[in-house]
A = this chain, B = another copy of it.
Amino acid sequence: MSTTPIEWIAADWGTTNLRCWAMSATDAVLDRAQSDQGMSAITSGNGDFETALLELIKPWLQSGKRIPVSACGMVGAKQGWIEAPYALAPCAPTTERVTAPTQSQDIEVFIHAGVKQLAPSDVMRGEETQIAGLLAKSPHFSGLVCLPGTHTKWAAVSNGHLQFFNTYLTGELFTLLAEQSVLRLTLAKDGWNEPAFLEAVKAAIESPESLLSTCFSLRAEALLNHLDGIEARSRLSGYLIGQELSNVLKEVKSTEPITLIGSESLVEIYRVALNSLGISSETIPNETAILAGLATGRD
């Protein structure tokens, strides 16, 4: 760990994970830490938010110095540490934050506002900060941003504003089907078959109405034709992402590349899916976007 003083701490606190970064005065990353104490682990257990945070960032604290923690994500939901407001889209990145109640004298915790949209109804918590980071790096950015995850977001950004967005249950549905439906008997726990994935993306785009039937066919093919578990897993992913893309492409006629922000592995899956459809994409690492976004909130 660097000897440069820690000026502030960035926290990306989602449903599943808590990720923290020790930041310098010039917004350089001095250290990283991560735990599985996402919002759902805390609300379903007996833990509390402050304890989970302090446990992770303890090595970074110095008594007598109150370090600001800039946080975003589901930690600001109604079930989170403290409810942060929603900005109303269309909107420029907001610097609105709420201060979370703390016992410790070593930290001061700010949670960023989420964004809501009224027609159609939609909400985000965390992704607005990644988009704020994108706009901090590229103020004149214009285009479509895809943020893959448990609840994948597609956002239209232009003129310095988040104009419109749309959330898909794709990631959560994949996990439920892979782990808890009858398909669990058929799918491998991991592994990847890209040609099988891309074929399934294509099939889903050609026939989005057949999703519930093609999903079951994976089970039948396993019973009758010994379908390989990795191929089955890749095809399920392709059917779901293809279904999502068939809706996105319906409304998007842009020839501009799609901007992907998210974890490396998930972004790569979307990149090859889009590429197979003749759509180029550019990638911004999750960390770059989130840190730039959390830094803007500190101005």
B-chain residues with CB within 8 Å of residue A283 when the two chains form the complex: none
List CB contacts (< 8 Å) of A234-251 with chain B: 240, 243-244, 246-247, 250
A173 proximal to B (CB < 8 A): yes
Per the bound structure, the CA–CA distance linking A240 and B169 in Å amounts to: 13
CB of A252, distance to nearest CB on chain B (Å) = 13
Contact between chains at A225 and B176 (CB < 8 Å):
no
* Bitwise interface map of A from 116 to 128 toward B, beta carbon under 8 Å scored 1, else 0: 1110111100000
Identify the closest chain B residue to A77 (Cβ): B223
Contact between chains at B247 and A121 (CB < 8 Å):
no
- Report the interface size for chain A: residues with CB under 8 A from the other chain: 44
Identify the closest chain B residue to A215 (Cβ): B169
Per the bound structure, the CA–CA distance linking A116 and B223 in Å amounts to: 10
B-chain residues with CB within 8 Å of residue A176 when the two chains form the complex: 176-177, 180-181
- Checking B207, B212, B217 against A244 with a beta-carbon cut-off of 8 angstroms, the contacting residue is B212
Contact between chains at B250 and A216 (CB < 8 Å):
no
Known contacts: A166-B213, A167-B213. The answer to whether A121 contacts B224 by CB under 8 A is: yes
B-chain residues with CB within 8 Å of residue A170 when the two chains form the complex: 212
Contact between chains at B151 and A169 (CB < 8 Å):
no
Contact between chains at B209 and A121 (CB < 8 Å):
no
A193 proximal to B (CB < 8 A): no
Per the bound structure, the CA–CA distance linking A221 and B116 in Å amounts to: 10
B-chain residues with CB within 8 Å of residue A118 when the two chains form the complex: 224
B-chain residues with CB within 8 Å of residue A172 when the two chains form the complex: 181-182
Kindly report how many copies of this chain are found in the complex they form together.
Answer: 2
Max count, chain B CB within 10 A of own CB: residue among A167, A216, A250:
A216
CB of A199, distance to nearest CB on chain B (Å) = 14
Contact between chains at B247 and A216 (CB < 8 Å):
no
Contact between chains at B122 and A216 (CB < 8 Å):
yes
A41 proximal to B (CB < 8 A): no
B-chain residues with CB within 8 Å of residue A221 when the two chains form the complex: 121
Contact between chains at B224 and A240 (CB < 8 Å):
no
Known contacts: A177-B176, A180-B176, A181-B176. The answer to whether A212 contacts B240 by CB under 8 A is: yes
Per the bound structure, the CA–CA distance linking A243 and B130 in Å amounts to: 33
- Checking B121, B122, B177, B224 against A116 with a beta-carbon cut-off of 8 angstroms, the contacting residue is B224
- Checking B173, B209, B246 against A243 with a beta-carbon cut-off of 8 angstroms, the contacting residue is B209
Contact between chains at A247 and B212 (CB < 8 Å):
yes
Per the bound structure, the CA–CA distance linking A254 and B240 in Å amounts to: 30
Would you list 17 pairs from A and B whose C-beta atoms are within 8 A, ordered by A residue? A78-B223, A121-B221, A122-B216, A123-B223, A151-B182, A167-B217, A168-B212, A169-B182, A169-B213, A208-B208, A208-B209, A208-B211, A209-B209, A209-B247, A209-B250, A211-B211, A213-B244
Binding site for B on A (CB under 8 A): 78, 86, 116-118, 120-123, 151, 166-170, 172-173, 176-177, 180-182, 207-213, 215-217, 219-221, 223-225, 240, 243-244, 246-247, 250
